[in-house]
């Protein structure tokens, strides 16, 4: 589904990703872990299409297409969803209007008829339940005045509405208390199907108790330096990242 | 006296209006009456207003230039009211000019023929909003000087809607002055909607004098005009008067809009609140000048003014000058202004959900503008305004489109 090959990315001349290789197949759940400042969020942003980053080398294939040549909106229409670490507040744009516009455009792109008003409202209602949000949500402005937990729930709600093939959740667990974490994680789990894939970016293992990954990767110094099963996450939780760093440095020294 | 902050382009336009008054055609008497239904039909469902139509500067009526209700409300032609109720009209028309009055105010004072007169006695609430629709339709390049007078008695209450609209594309110079006099506890909501053709030169001056505990609520929407100047001068002459101002201007092409709001807090315990927002596209120009004076006696004044602008092109031009002049020491006053582009982060966020750039811009602009529409207290009017904002931002609304409430199609 997604194939990242030797991806090098820099911002203002500073190289952040230094040759990332990653392959995600249909139905898989991957976790990308690693200490702060190693390029995890950059990777998500580049996949989303954020324009301030320069891809200097490598490529990203999404279902065989060159992702980096696609517009931001076409990536979404092709089924990619990014759950942001810091969702933007947009005063005056209601969630209902936002989702209506997004769904209409995505459906048009796919050659599908737009939903009727009734179908849309029914869908909003159903999907809000996934993350235990109330219906009152729909008239509120996007993320305006939302608590940290509400913002993250709203991200997963949008994911539920847009039904992506590939969801990349960037630090969806940060800033959440244990109840909010459970709601968000259960939401993601409910949305899982054999045909869609999920990438969870986190630096804590606790989220992975709910969203169980098939593969765990460690991103360090702009590269994936280690990949393993879900037990790797537990080991990281126990031992921290220091040993990864040492392993990486000694490997480099050789 | 010409304001020294006036821009050079503004000055050039003013000169164009005044340098050769003889170039303008003046309709010296009303056109023969034709039933209103022949050129209007209502566009908004569920709005019920008392409609007053002015065509080329004259009150349109079928033999009844003034209507009076059993409660004593008088509405109609100022020219007629001057004859029939001189005691209610002349004291205001004979007031001396004020310091703020410039050559346009002087021209209006000297040349006006007619205008709308509204009188509410003490303790009377108008059952429905009164709506003034000013239309221009002529083969010649018209000059119109209308002088309107709105007098509210003690504890009287009125919603007033003023729509300035063109029917065709001829150039016109419209120079209106509206005098508003609010007695103790009177409450006026004043909605103004301006949608003129690109050739029009429109001057709207509103002078408001407020007695104790009176409330003035001003709401101005500017969709189209060639040149437009909105001047509002508010004088608080007794304590606990309150004034609120909301404004929205959406200008593009080579349009030019000047908003000048002057608030004179002369006495203690009054307040004023202002929020004006604008979206300026293409080569359009918008100037905002908000001037609050707090006189030495005006202790405990609360005054706030904010002006926010979005420019969509490099050639769009905005000047924003919120300006406080304070001579009292126990006051709460603040002002702020911003000029910027659409939020890049918000644009990106919307696009990552599959929304194209154009629609993302539209959503953000609509949200920005819609805040002002939300302050409208008449629901049917609010809905219609929101629809107009949407159409305007989509580029669907032109001067050929209807005025906000009624659809003028001269047959």
Task: Confirm whether B364 is domain-assigned.
Answer: yes
Any B CB within 8 A of A183 CB: no
Any B CB within 8 A of A77 CB: yes
What is the separation of C-alpha B81 from the centre of its chain, rounded to a whole number of angstroms? 23
Side-chain-side CA neighbours of residue B213 (13 Å): 8
What residues make up the domain containing B389?
Answer: 8-408
Pick A90's closest partner by Cβ from B354, B367, B371. B367
The tens digit of pLDDT for each residue in B47-62 reads 678 889 998 999 999 8
Closest CA to A29 of A209, A214, A166: A214
CA A119, CA A124: separation in Å to the nearest integer? 9
DSSP string of B143-204, one letter each residue: EE-BEEEEEE-TT-EEEEEEEEEESS---EEEEEEEEEEE-TT-EEEEEEEEE--TTEEEEE
CB contact under 8 A, A84 and B349: yes
Crossing angle between the packed helical segments A242-253 and A230-239, to the nearest 10 degrees: 100
CB B216, CB B191: distance < 8 Å:
no
Pick A76's closest partner by Cβ from B353, B364, B366. B353
- Which chain B positions have a beta carbon within 8 Å of A77's beta carbon? 354
- Which chain B positions have a beta carbon within 8 Å of A86's beta carbon? none
CA angle B146, B178, B14 (to 5 degrees): 65
Is the pLDDT reported for residue B401 higher than 50?
Answer: no
Residues 160-179 of A with CB under 8 A from B: 162
Å from B375 to nearest chain A CA? Answer: 13
- How would residue B410 be classed by pLDDT, with cut points 50, 70 and 90? very low
**What is the per-residue pLDDT for A176?**
87
The tens digit of pLDDT for each residue in A181-224 reads 999 999 999 999 999 999 999 878 888 989 999 999 999 999 99
Å from B103 to nearest chain A CA? Answer: 41
Is the pLDDT reported for residue B44 higher than 60?
Answer: no
**What is the per-residue pLDDT for A112?**
95
CB contact under 8 A, B363 and A98: yes
Which residues are CB-neighbours of A246 under 8 A, at least 6 positions away? none
CB contact under 8 A, A92 and B367: yes
Q: Which residues of chain A have pLDDT under 50?
A: none
Q: Which of B352, B389, B393 is the best substitution to test chain A (most A C-beta atoms within 10 A)?
A: B352
C-alpha distance across the termini of chain B, in Å: 43
| A and B: number of Cβ contacts within 8 A | 73
CB contact under 8 A, A92 and B357: no
**What is the per-residue pLDDT for B411?**
25
**What is the per-residue pLDDT for A138?**
78
Å from A189 to nearest chain B CA? Answer: 21
CB contact under 8 A, A105 and B359: yes
Tell me how crowded residue B76 is: count the other CB atoms within 10 A of its CB: 21
Crossing angle between the packed helical segments A117-130 and A95-109, to the nearest 10 degrees: 110
- Which chain A positions have a beta carbon within 8 Å of B368's beta carbon? 92
CA A115, CA A106: separation in Å to the nearest integer? 11
Q: Which two tokens stand for residue A160?
A: 């539920």
**What is the per-residue pLDDT for B43?**
55
CB A212, CB A181: distance < 8 Å:
no
Å from A108 to nearest chain B CA? Answer: 11
Domain total for chain A? 1
Is the pLDDT reported for residue B71 higher than 50?
Answer: yes
Task: Confirm whether B348 is domain-assigned.
Answer: yes
What residues make up the domain containing A172?
Answer: 2-253
The tens digit of pLDDT for each residue in B186-240 reads 999 999 988 777 788 999 999 999 999 999 999 999 987 789 999 999 999 999 9
**What is the per-residue pLDDT for A197?**
96
Q: Which helix (H) or strand (E) holds A182?
A: helix A178-190
CA angle B112, B139, B136 (to 5 degrees): 45
**What is the per-residue pLDDT for A245?**
86
Is the pLDDT reported for residue B2 higher than 50?
Answer: no
Measured between CA atoms, the residue of chain A closest to residue B357 is A73
Tell me how crowded residue B71 is: count the other CB atoms within 10 A of its CB: 13
- Match 């340098």 to its residue by tokens: B19
**What is the per-residue pLDDT for B381?**
87
**What is the per-residue pLDDT for B39?**
66
**What is the per-residue pLDDT for B402?**
40
CB B313, CB B281: distance < 8 Å:
yes
Between B226 and B351, the higher pLDDT residue: B351
* Ramachandran class of A221: left when φ > 0, alpha when ψ lies in -120 to 50, beta otherwise: left
What is the separation of C-alpha B404 from the centre of its chain, rounded to a whole number of angstroms? 14
Pick B355's closest partner by Cβ from A50, A75, A101. A101
We report the CATH number of the domain holding residue A21 as 3.40.50.300
Pick A105's closest partner by Cβ from B355, B366, B370. B355
Task: Label residues A69-94 b or e (16+ Cβ within 10 Å = b).
Answer: ebebbbbbbbbbbbbbbebbbbbbbb
**What is the per-residue pLDDT for B47?**
66
CB contact under 8 A, A93 and B357: no
**What is the per-residue pLDDT for B408?**
35
* Ramachandran class of B240: left when φ > 0, alpha when ψ lies in -120 to 50, beta otherwise: left
CA B143, CA B27: separation in Å to the nearest integer? 8
Q: What is the mean pLDDT of residues B19-34?
A: 89
- How would residue B37 be classed by pLDDT, with cut points 50, 70 and 90? low
**What is the per-residue pLDDT for B407?**
34
CB contact under 8 A, B350 and A158: no
What is the ipTM for the molecules in this complex?
0.95
Q: Which two tokens stand for residue B387?
A: 């629809």
- How would residue B9 be classed by pLDDT, with cut points 50, 70 and 90? confident
Residues 103-162 of A with CB under 8 A from B: 103, 105-106, 109, 141, 158, 162
- How would residue B5 be classed by pLDDT, with cut points 50, 70 and 90? low
CB contact under 8 A, B367 and A93: yes
Q: What is the mean pLDDT of residues B238-266?
A: 95
Task: Confirm whether B263 is domain-assigned.
Answer: yes
CB A166, CB A199: distance < 8 Å:
yes
Chain B residues contacting A via beta carbons under 8 Å: 343, 345-346, 348-357, 359, 363-364, 366-368, 370-371
Closest CA to B237 of B209, B259, B217: B209
Q: Which of A77, A78, A90, A151 is the best substitution to test chain B (most B C-beta atoms within 10 A)?
A: A90
Is the pLDDT reported for residue B400 higher than 50?
Answer: no
Is the CA virtual torsion B18, B24, B29, B31 positive or negative?
negative
**What is the per-residue pLDDT for B46?**
57
- Neighbour-count burial of B201, counting CB atoms closer than 10 A to its CB (0-12 exposed, 13-18 middle, 19+ buried): buried
- Match 């939780």 to its residue by tokens: A237
Measured CA to CA in angstroms, residue A150 lies from A54, A126, A136, A155 at distances of: 32, 17, 13, 9
CB contact under 8 A, A48 and B367: no
- Which chain A positions have a beta carbon within 8 Å of B348's beta carbon? 48, 50, 72, 88
CB contact under 8 A, A75 and B359: no
CB contact under 8 A, A76 and B351: yes
**What is the per-residue pLDDT for B58?**
94
Measured between CA atoms, the residue of chain B closest to residue A78 is B354
Residues 7-46 of A with CB under 8 A from B: none
Task: Confirm whether B2 is domain-assigned.
Answer: no
Q: Which two tokens stand for residue A146?
A: 């939302």
Measured between CA atoms, the residue of chain B closest to residue A73 is B354
- How would residue B406 be classed by pLDDT, with cut points 50, 70 and 90? very low
Domain total for chain B? 1
Measured between CA atoms, the residue of chain A closest to residue B343 is A90
Closest CA to B265 of B305, B233, B237: B237
Task: Confirm whether B117 is domain-assigned.
Answer: yes
Pick A92's closest partner by Cβ from B348, B350, B368. B368
């Amino acid at each position: 589904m997604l194939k990242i090959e030797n991806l090098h990315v820099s911002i203002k001349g500073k190289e952040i990703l230094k040759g990332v290789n990653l392959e995600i197949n249909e139905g898989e759940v991957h976790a990308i872990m690693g200490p702060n400042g190693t390029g995890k969020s950059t990777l998500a942003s580049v996949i989303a299409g954020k324009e301030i980053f320069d891809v200097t080398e490598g490529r990203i294939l999404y279902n065989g297409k060159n992702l980096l040549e696609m517009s931001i909106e076409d990536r979404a229409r092709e089924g990619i969803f990014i759950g942001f670490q810091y969702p933007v507040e947009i005063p005056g744009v209601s969630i209902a209007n936002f989702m209506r516009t997004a769904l209409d455009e995505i459906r048009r792109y796919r050659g599908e008829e737009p939903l009727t008003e009734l179908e849309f409202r029914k869908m909003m209602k159903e999907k809000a339940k996934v993350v235990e949000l109330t219906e009152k949500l729909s008239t509120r402005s996007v993320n305006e005045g939302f608590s940290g937990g509400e913002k993250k729930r709203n991200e997963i709600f949008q994911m539920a509405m847009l039904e992506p093939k590939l969801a990349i959740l960037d630090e969806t667990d940060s800033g959440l208390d244990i109840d909010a974490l459970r709601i968000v994680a259960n939401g993601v789990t409910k949305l899982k199907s054999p045909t869609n894939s999920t990438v969870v970016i986190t630096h804590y293992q606790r989220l992975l108790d709910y969203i169980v990954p098939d593969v765990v990767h460690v991103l360090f110094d702009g590269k994936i330096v280690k990949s393993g099963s879900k037990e790797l996450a537990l080991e990281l939780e126990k031992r921290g990242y220091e040993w990864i760093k040492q392993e990486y440095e000694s490997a480099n020294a050789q | 006296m010409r304001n020294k902050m006036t821009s050079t382009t503004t000055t050039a336009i003013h000169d164009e209006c005044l340098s050769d008054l003889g170039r303008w055609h003046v309709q010296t008497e009303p056109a023969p009456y034709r039933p209103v239904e022949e050129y209007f039909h209502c566009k908004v469902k569920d709005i019920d207003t008392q409609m007053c139509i002015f065509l080329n500067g004259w009150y349109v009526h079928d033999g009844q230039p003034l209507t009076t209700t059993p409660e004593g409300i008088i509405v109609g032609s100022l020219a007629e009211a001057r004859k029939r109720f001189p005691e209610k009209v002349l004291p205001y028309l004979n007031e001396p000019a004020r310091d703020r009055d410039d050559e346009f105010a002087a021209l209006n004072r000297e040349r006006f023929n007619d205008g709308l007169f509204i009188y509410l006695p003490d303790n009377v609430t108008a059952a429905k909003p009164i709506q003034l629709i000013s239309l221009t339709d002529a083969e010649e390049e018209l000059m119109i000087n209308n002088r309107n007078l709105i007098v509210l008695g003690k504890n009287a209450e009125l919603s007033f809607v003023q729509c300035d609209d063109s029917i065709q594309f001829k150039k016109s110079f419209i120079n209106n002055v509206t005098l508003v006099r609010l007695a103790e506890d009177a409450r006026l909501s004043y909605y103004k909607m301006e949608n003129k053709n690109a050739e029009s030169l429109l001057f709207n001056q509103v002078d408001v004098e407020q007695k104790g505990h009176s409330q003035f609520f001003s709401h101005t929407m500017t969709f189209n005009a060639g040149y437009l100047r909105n001047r509002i001068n508010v004088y608080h002459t007794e304590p606990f008067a309150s004034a609120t101002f909301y404004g929205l201007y959406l200008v593009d092409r080579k349009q030019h809009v000047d908003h000048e709001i002057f608030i004179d807090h002369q006495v203690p315990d009054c307040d004023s609140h202002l929020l004006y927002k604008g979206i300026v596209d293409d080569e359009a120009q918008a100037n905002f000048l908000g001037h609050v004076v707090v006189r030495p006696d005006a202790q405990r004044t609360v005054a706030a003014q904010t002006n926010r602008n979005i420019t969509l092109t490099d050639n769009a031009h905005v000047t924003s000058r919120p300006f406080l002049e304070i001579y009292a020491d126990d006051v709460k006053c603040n002002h702020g202004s911003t000029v910027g582009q659409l939020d890049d982060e918000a644009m990106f966020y919307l696009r990552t959900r599959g929304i194209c750039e154009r629609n993302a811009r539209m959503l953000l602009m609509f949200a920005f503008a819609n805040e002002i529409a939300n302050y409208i207290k008449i629901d049917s009017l609010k809905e219609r305004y929101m629809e107009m904002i949407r159409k305007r931002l989509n580029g669907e609304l032109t001067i050929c489109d209807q005025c906000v409430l009624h659809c003028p199609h001269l047959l």
